[in-house]
């Protein structure tokens, strides 16, 4: 992914809720990432999603923070509030509490914005909090690399 970002002179922004900055951390673990990683937003609370990314309060109230409309607004907000051309956003229920019948623990919504457009999807990961968060980071970055090809 880093090679594709560099080749195209793109910068990446992340907008993270359930991962609390782990995606940004995985990116910046790589030497030279300052050439393609622009910034990360850790928007754990609903207020942070609204204040930092411009997610409409009504959108969260209607659909919940863990939803497709919210993750799409998050990824668009990451682009609008940065100098990046590429963004990834995640919002989910990492557990062990906070799940519901509609959104059980392990439910994570993903959003990716690339020059080719915006994509979103939901995944359901098994395991404890650490496993859900690790799977989320892996999926977010693996899918981003695929979308950039």
Instruction: Tell me how long the chain is.
Output: 149
Write down the pLDDT at residue 63. Answer: 97
Sheet holding 107-114, edge to edge: 37-42, 12-16, 86-92, 107-114, 117-124
The pLDDT tens digits of the residues spanning 13-30 come to 999 999 999 999 999 999
Q: Does the N-terminal peptide bond of residue 114 adopt cis geometry, omega within 30 degrees of 0?
A: no
Q: What's the whole-number mean pLDDT along residues 68-76? A: 98
Write down the pLDDT at residue 94. Answer: 96
Smallest CA-to-CA distance from 84 within 62, 43, 51, 113 is with 113
pLDDT band at 125 (very low <50, low <70, confident <90, very high): very high
Give dist(CA 103, CA 53) in Å, integer. Answer: 23
Strand-pair category, 12-16 with 86-92: parallel
Write down the pLDDT at residue 139. Answer: 98
pLDDT band at 105 (very low <50, low <70, confident <90, very high): very high
70 neighbors 91 (Cβ within 8 angstroms):
yes
The pLDDT tens digits of the residues spanning 52-62 come to 999 999 999 99
Strand-pair category, 86-92 with 117-124: unpaired
- Tell if the pTM clears 0.75, that is, is over it: yes
Q: What is the DSSP letter of 71?
A: H
- Two structure tokens written together for 76: 């668009």
């Amino acid at each position: 992914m880093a090679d594709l970002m560099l080749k195209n002179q793109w910068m990446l922004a992340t907008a993270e809720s359930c991962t609390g900055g782990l995606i940004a951390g995985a990116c910046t673990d790589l030497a030279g990432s300052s050439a393609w990683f622009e910034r990360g937003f850790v928007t754990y609370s609903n207020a942070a999603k609204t204040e930092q990314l411009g997610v409409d309060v009504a959108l969260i109230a209607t659909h919940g923070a863990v939803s497709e409309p919210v993750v799409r607004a998050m990824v668009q907000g990451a682009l609008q509030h940065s100098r990046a051309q590429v963004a990834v956003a995640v919002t989910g229920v990492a557990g062990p509490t906070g799940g519901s019948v509609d959104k059980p623990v392990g439910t994570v919504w993903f959003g990716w914005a690339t020059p080719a457009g915006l994509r979103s999807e939901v995944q359901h990961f098994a395991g404890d909090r650490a496993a859900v968060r690790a799977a989320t980071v892996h999926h977010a970055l693996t899918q981003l690399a695929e979308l950039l090809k």
